[in-house]
């Protein structure tokens, strides 16, 4: 299906302030106006005859330039519209579709519910990328794509056309892909450093991670062999957590601490078990209340929270 999509993008607004959007979405169409253009010229897409109609008094515009822009928008809609992916912004999302070249005239002329003519969709309006992998919420789109929502005209060619196609096709920008690979290499390098932290430095690192994610230490409850028990609070969430920090541990030790946590559920709402060098793959209990932080998870938190330099300085 990716190959079937046109390589060109056009923005369209279904009526002033999107007044025809409800019908366009419900019936799989693009609705437009231009009731001053004779129906036979629209049906036959007689571009030369339509262009000859560019006379401001006839179309009610103050300047020839504004009339030209408007007629160009109409020509884009009726001149082989199937060669474009059409996008619009409604209901907080970017929607896209493809259409056939067949134009249908509204026998009732333009109304508040429907335009003077419409194009039928081949691929219906969707606010999801291909395969429905991404919801195209406007607030989550790149700025140069989202700004298209403010366009006041009827039709335009977006400056971010290539980026819009990448988003719809679920393609990753080459520079973004390179950045992701570099970031993963950095996380892997940080994980190696974390695995060599001494007990005291590792305790401090866990403290820093906790603080930067909204947790504040209430008390150090006393250490056990090669481990530290800490009590922390997230005031905003109204939760107190029991944290165990160990350089190395296996499943038996984890199970022991989960049992202790369950015995204290009246006081603690969460448990965090942080160990940078587990002796084996740790199987967490089926409970959202217990979090297991091993080397990989800790390294990801270190990078995300900007603690990589702090870790590097421990060596």
Whole-structure pTM value: 0.63
Q: Which pLDDT value is given to residue 54?
A: 54
CATH number of the domain within which 246 lies: 3.40.1350
Exposure string over 261-271, b if 16+ CB within 10 A, otherwise e:
beeeeeebebb
Judgement on whether residues 224 and 104 belong to the same structural domain of the protein: no
CB 24 within 8 A of CB 18: no
Angle at 114 between CA 111 and CA 117, to 5 degrees: 105
Looking at the fold, whether 200 and 153 belong to one and the same domain comes out as: no
Write down the pLDDT at residue 60: 46
For 181, 186, 301, 313, the CA distances from 304, given in Å and listed in that order, are 15, 11, 5, 17
Together in a domain, 204 and 136 = no
> Do 82 and 205 lie in a common domain?
no
**How far is residue 87's CA from residue 119's CA, in Å, rounded to a whole number?**
14
Judge if 161 and 268 occupy the same domain: no
Domain span including residue 300: 177-312
Q: Determine how many CB atoms are found less than 10 A away from the CB of residue 307.
A: 19
Same domain for 107 and 131, yes or no, is yes
Q: Are residues 87 and 148 in the same domain?
A: yes
Question: 185 and 104, same structural domain?
Answer: no
Assess whether 128 and 42 both reside in one domain. yes
> 145, 171, 197 — which closes off a domain?
171
Query: What sign for the dihedral angle of Cα 195, 201, 203, 204?
Result: negative
Q: Which domain-ending residue is among 171, 203, 238?
A: 171
**pLDDT of amino acid 59:** 47
Q: What is the pLDDT of residue 226?
A: 46
Last residue of one domain, picked from the residues 171, 189, 220: 171
Indicate whether 78 and 147 sit together in one domain: yes
Number of domains in the chain: 2
Instruction: Give me the half-sphere count of Cα atoms (radius 13 Å) on the Cβ side of residue 106.
Output: 23
pLDDT score at 227: 52
Sheet holding 239-246, edge to edge: 216-224, 227-234, 239-246, 270-275, 290-293
> How many CB atoms sit inside 10 A of residue 293's CB?
20
> Are 121 and 266 contained in the same domain?
no
| pLDDT average per 10 residues of sequence, the chain (315 residues) | 78 92 95 83 78 56 57 87 96 96 84 89 96 92 90 89 93 86 95 94 94 89 58 92 92 91 88 93 84 94 96 95
The total of other beta-carbon atoms located within 10 Å of residue 36's CB is 10
Same domain, 216 and 302: yes
């Amino acid at each position: 299906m990716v190959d079937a999509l046109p390589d060109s993008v056009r923005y369209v607004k279904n009526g002033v302030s999107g007044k025809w959007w409800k019908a366009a979405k419900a019936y799989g169409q693009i609705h437009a106006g231009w009731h001053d253009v004779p129906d036979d010229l629209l049906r036959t897409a007689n571009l030369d005859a339509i262009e000859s109609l560019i006379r401001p008094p006839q179309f009610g515009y103050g300047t020839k330039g504004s009339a030209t822009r408007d007629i160009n928008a109409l020509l884009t809609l009726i001149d082989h519209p199937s060669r474009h992916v059409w996008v619009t912004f409604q209901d907080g999302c970017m929607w896209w579709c493809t259409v056939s070249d067949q134009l249908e005239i509204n026998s009732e002329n333009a109304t508040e519910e429907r335009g003077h003519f419409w194009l039928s969709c081949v691929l219906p309006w969707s606010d999801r990328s291909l395969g429905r992998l991404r919801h195209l919420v406007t607030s989550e789109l790149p700025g140069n794509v989202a700004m298209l929502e403010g366009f006041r005209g009827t039709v335009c060619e977006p400056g971010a056309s290539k980026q819009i196609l990448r988003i719809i096709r679920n393609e990753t920008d080459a520079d973004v892909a390179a950045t992701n690979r570099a970031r993963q290499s950095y996380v892997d390098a940080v994980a190696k450093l974390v695995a060599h932290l001494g007990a005291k430095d590792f305790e401090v690192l866990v403290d820093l991670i906790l603080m930067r994610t909204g947790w504040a230490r209430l008390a150090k409850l006393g250490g056990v062999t090669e481990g530290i028990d800490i009590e922390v609070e997230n005031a905003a969430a109204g939760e107190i957590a029991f944290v165990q920090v160990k350089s190395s541990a296996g499943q038996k030790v984890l199970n022991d601490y989960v049992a202790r946590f369950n015995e204290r559920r009246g006081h603690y709402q969460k448990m965090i078990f942080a160990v940078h060098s587990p002796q084996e793959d740790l199987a967490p209990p089926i409970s959202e209340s217990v979090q297991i932080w091993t080397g990989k998870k800790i390294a990801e938190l270190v990078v995300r929270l900007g603690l990589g330099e702090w870790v590097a300085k421990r060596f």
